[in-house]
Structure 1
Amino acid sequence: MDVRTKICGLTRLADVEAAASADASYVGFVFFPKSPRNLSFEAARDLAIAVPAGIVKVGLVVDPDDTMLDSLMAQVPLDMLQLHGHETPARVADIRARYGLPVMKAVGVAEESDLEQVALFSGVADQILIDAKPPRDGDLPGGNGLAFDWRLVAGRRFGKPWMLAGGLTPETVGTAISMTGVQQVDVSSGVESAPGVKDAEKIAAFVAATRAPSVPRL
């Protein structure tokens, strides 16, 4: 079974084309003003329309209120919402019911006890994104290029499909897959030439590395 890849934080049409050409399974658009990958709804709509059929279009939001989500959903054709803030399980369930889209909830991990959050959200989210916990003084909840100890999730099976993120690059993703047995991976800064600027060659190399025959599966 091929590992499914999500290329997050796309900002240009060339990024969409590169992700599609590399056969990514998901593309992500960021709606968080502090991020160098932040998009206006208008820009995101144009990019989302250009995404080929079959690729899941994910909107990343951070502690959004209903007004923001109403506007986003009215303007941008998305297939999934990624909640990357401090949303509670009740809020996740509410968003999922209100907009009728699958929801992926991000959980930041630095130590084993952080994985308790996965169980809390597995009952209300469609997927879980397990990411490196951001620095205490950081402005960004994700996209920091940081990894956590992948041994914490090695061989684990959670109640819902899950995706590994945090510090992945074309050079490290094969090791991450080997160590954890994960079937879905997410990358943003690891395939950039500058913050918010994706590199087509790195995207192609990243996806290829997830499918290399030499990568052992647990």
Structure 2
Amino acid sequence: MSDIKVKICGLSTEETMEAALDAGADMVGLMFFPKSPRHVSLSDACKLADMARDRAEIVAVTVDMDLDGLSRIKELVAPDTFQFHGSEAPEACAAAKVMHGTGVMKAVSVAAKEDLEKALYYSVVADRILFDAKPPKGSDLPGGNGVSYDWSLLKDLDLKKPFMLSGGLNADNVAEAIRVSGVKEVDVSSGVERDKGVKDSNLIRAFMAAVKAA
């Protein structure tokens, strides 16, 4: 049995949330970003979060959201963790952590080794860093683009904080990604979708099985 922690991100239906929970996902991500095909309303998010509560860590994914928006999510959805996936400064991450009493995960976009340096600033205030691929030119989505990067960049990285590999993962390549990067945590979104933004329960189960076998 693998000891790799898995986050299934961008869940938006009760069926796929149940599939992720049944398959043993450690973390489930709810997307609060209207431009994303995975965006969920606050009312839907409440239902999905209630399904996951005490079964998996609930992560609210936001992109450069203002404090009022974060407060509404905290009040209504009560996530365990906020994931900041935009250009939020370390100070904003620290402020959210103090204000809301939640965990904080910060996404850092990676294309080359020098991009990892940015993570050092965030690792002081964030509880976890998520390394995602830089979005392709023309994309207005900061993540969930199904592109990957050189996973070996994360090999032997010592951040003093947990970190997660994201970007272009699926059931066919996740074992290789874990082997090459040496990471203990992975995140998937588009790699378990049959269409953009449409999660597939069978692909979720296949991804979880591939991780467990890795």
TM over 0.5: yes
Structure 1: distance between partners of 2:162 and 2:50: 26
Which residue number in structure 2 is paired with residue 150 of structure 1?
151
Flag as ranges the 4+ runs of structure 1 deviating above 6 A: none
Structure 1: distance between partners of 2:159 and 2:205: 29
Which residue number in structure 1 is paired with residue 41 of structure 2?
40
Q: Residues 39-188 of structure 1: matches in 2 within 5 Å?
A: 39-188=40-189
Shift of 1:28: 0.3
Which residue number in structure 2 is paired with residue 27 of structure 1?
28
Structure 1: distance between partners of 2:12 and 2:43: 12
Describe the SS at the equivalent of 2:92. Answer: helix
Between the two proteins, the alignment pairs up a number of residues equal to 213
Shift of 1:11: 0.6
Shift of 1:70: 1.3
Inter-CA distance 52–73: structure 2 relative to 1 (3 Å threshold): closer
Shift of 1:72: 1.2
Shift of 1:77: 2.2
Describe the SS at the equivalent of 2:39. Answer: coil
Which ranges of structure 2 fall in alignment gaps of 5 or more residues? none
Letter matched to residue 82 of structure 1: Q
Question: 2:63·2:86 contact (CA, 8 Å) conserved in 1?
Answer: yes
Structure 1: distance between partners of 2:104 and 2:133: 19
1:164-188, Cα deviation, whole Å (9 max, x unpaired): 0000000000000000111110000
1:92-135, Cα deviation, whole Å (9 max, x unpaired): 11111110100000000001110001101010000000010112
Which ranges of structure 1 fall in alignment gaps of 5 or more residues? none
Identity %: 46
Shift of 1:157: 2.3
Inter-CA distance 91–52: structure 2 relative to 1 (3 Å threshold): closer
Which residue number in structure 2 is paired with residue 197 of structure 1?
198
CA RMSD of aligned residues (A): 1.0
1:146-177, Cα deviation, whole Å (9 max, x unpaired): 10111111232222100000000000000000
Are 1:9 and 2:16 matched, yes or no?
Answer: no
Structure 1: distance between partners of 2:136 and 2:190: 16
Shift of 1:52: 4.9
1:63-106, Cα deviation, whole Å (9 max, x unpaired): 11111111111111211100000001111111111101000000
Shift of 1:41: 0.6
Letter matched to residue 53 of structure 1: D
Question: 2:82·2:103 contact (CA, 8 Å) conserved in 1?
Answer: yes
Question: 1:156·1:180 contact (CA, 8 Å) conserved in 2?
Answer: no
Question: 2:21·2:55 contact (CA, 8 Å) conserved in 1?
Answer: no
User: What TM-score, normalized by structure 1, do the two folds share?
Assistant: 0.95
